[in-house]
Structure formats: structure tokens, C-alpha cells
Amino acid sequence: MPWFPDFAGAVELARSQSRAAGQADPIAQFFKALNQADSAALENVWPGEVVICDPRAGVVRGHKQLRQFVGENQSWLAGARTDTIASTVIPGRAVLELLAHLKFEGKDRDWPVAVVAESPDDRSVVFRTYCSQWPLFGRNFGRGPILDAGADQPGDVVGQYMAAFGAGDSDALVGLFAADGYFREPSGSKYTYRGRAELQAFFTMAFGQGGGILLQPCAVTDDGMHCAVEYNCVRWGSHDLLPQAGIGIYERGPDGLLAAARVYDDVAPPLQGA
């Protein structure tokens, strides 16, 4: 019997290998699609459902909407030079922090962005992007909840931090940071407070609305060094807020204290006296 090459099997093997490589780094595939304005690679890697939770476009669901979103995306992250700050990975979920450098309306912008990729199965993926729009437009737009409050709670120093943050206890918060630890606001690296004196001044100012800032944890991604907490901000001082989505990423130092706390949300402080 003559031998014929198994072309169909070879094609399927190549497709499987390509999908496996894409699934190993889903966020890279996401940015590749944005930068090339081509969703084909994402669709091939994730033939099931692709969902994008975007700060401006809202929820993009399915391949048809994905193609439209990628084709229309002009100024979000496409073409920006990005520096990776840190990544946090657990089975089924990855978080990547980026500092994007782009020119917007003729000005150079320094823009922190965090992207979460979650895979409910090996055919589908959800991308959740978190950032503030203040660096681009000079104002906060707010953002409704993406996830429901969950039962998963951060532990150790991160859990202590969130409790003190909600209680508005600036002294306790400062004590949770390493001597050279820092807090960075969503607005960019310019708004970074390092060392206990700067942290004390910042938290005292932030809690000037009558108390702490209450963040309800929704999902926790913890690799032992970095802990990413997706949350809904529901209260600022004495002001109840409509739930607003965000993510905080907390980096532990070798002494178990916080080396860094970086926040990605579009929450604006309530107006004084409102």
C-alpha cells in the first residue's frame, strides 16, 4: 500500500501547537491583536468565546464584536510603547501590569494599565483591562462593576492593608510598608509616594473625606510575591459610592511587609461637602 503524508494531521498538530503557545501567554496575544489591528490570532487561539471588558468600549463579546473592537481601536494601547512592571500568574488567570508611554493630543503621557486574562476553559478567555482615564483626559470617568464581590479574601499583609484602608487608619497602613515601600496612584508614576513620611501625608489626605476607602474584593490572584485584588470601590469616607471596578496589586518584600502598592481604577474622590 502506498504511503501518503498525513497532511491533515500535520496541519492539526501545527494548529494545536500554535494554540498552546498562545494560551501560554494570552495577554501577549491580546496586545498583538491590538497593535496589528487583526483579531485572527486571538480567534485561532480561543475558538470558543472571547470577552473583553474595556474601560471605554464596555463589554465586547464574541468573535464578531472582537473583530469590530480590534478594527476600531485607535488610541487605547495600540502603538504605545509599553514597559512591563510585573506579572502575576496562577492556573487559569494571569495579570500583567504595564506602564504605557504614548503621545496623546500632542503631549507625552505616562499611563499605568493592568490587564487580567482568565480562561474558564481551554477554548475561551476573558480579558479585563483596568486603568484611569485621567492621564489622557484630565478627569475621571468612573466605571461600573465588572465582577461581583467574592468570597475570596487576601491574607497576610495584603488583607491587613485592605482592612486598614477601609477603616481609614493611616498609621496602621504606613506600618505595613517596608521603610522604602511605595504607593502609586492610578494617574501615573508621577503620583508615587515612597517612604513613611510621604505615605503618611498621602493617606492622611486621602482619608480627609471622613474616613477610609472601602474596597470589596472580587477576585484574588496571588503568586506569593505579588497579590492582585480585583475589587469594587463602594465607599469613600462618609460617602457611599455606586460600585466602581478596579484592581490593586501589592508586592511583598523579603521582610513580609509591602514593598509596593499599585492601584488601577478610575474612581474620583467625592466632592467636598457633597
Write the CATH number for 89.
3.10.450.50
Angle between helices 26-36 and 7-24 (to 10 degrees): 100
Q: Based on the fold, state whether residues 176 and 113 are members of the same structural domain.
A: no
Give yes or no: residues 242 and 131 share one domain. Answer: no
Q: Are 121 and 237 contained in the same domain?
A: no
State the residue range of the domain holding 259: 156-265
CA distance 19 to 9: 15
Residue 78 is predicted with a pLDDT of 58
Per-residue pLDDT of the chain (274 residues; tens, 9 = 90+): 444 444 334 333 334 444 556 578 899 889 888 888 889 989 999 999 999 999 989 999 999 999 999 888 754 565 678 899 999 999 999 999 999 887 777 778 899 999 999 999 989 999 999 999 999 888 999 999 999 998 889 999 999 999 999 999 999 999 999 999 999 999 999 999 999 999 999 999 999 888 999 999 999 999 999 999 999 999 999 999 999 999 999 999 999 999 999 999 999 988 754 4
Residue 171 lies in a domain: yes
183, part of any domain: yes
- The model's pTM: 0.90
- Residue 22, pLDDT score: 59
What is the distance between the terminal CA atoms of the chain, rounded to a whole angstrom?
85
Domain membership of residue 68 (yes or no) is: yes
In sequence order, which residues have a C-beta less than 8 Å from that of residue 250 and are 6 or more positions away? 154, 157, 158, 161, 226, 227, 228, 229, 258, 260, 261, 262
Closest CA to 84 of 97, 65, 103: 97
Same domain membership, residue 110 and residue 54: yes
The whole-angstrom separation of Cα 168 and Cα 23 is: 41
Residues 61 and 103 in one domain: yes
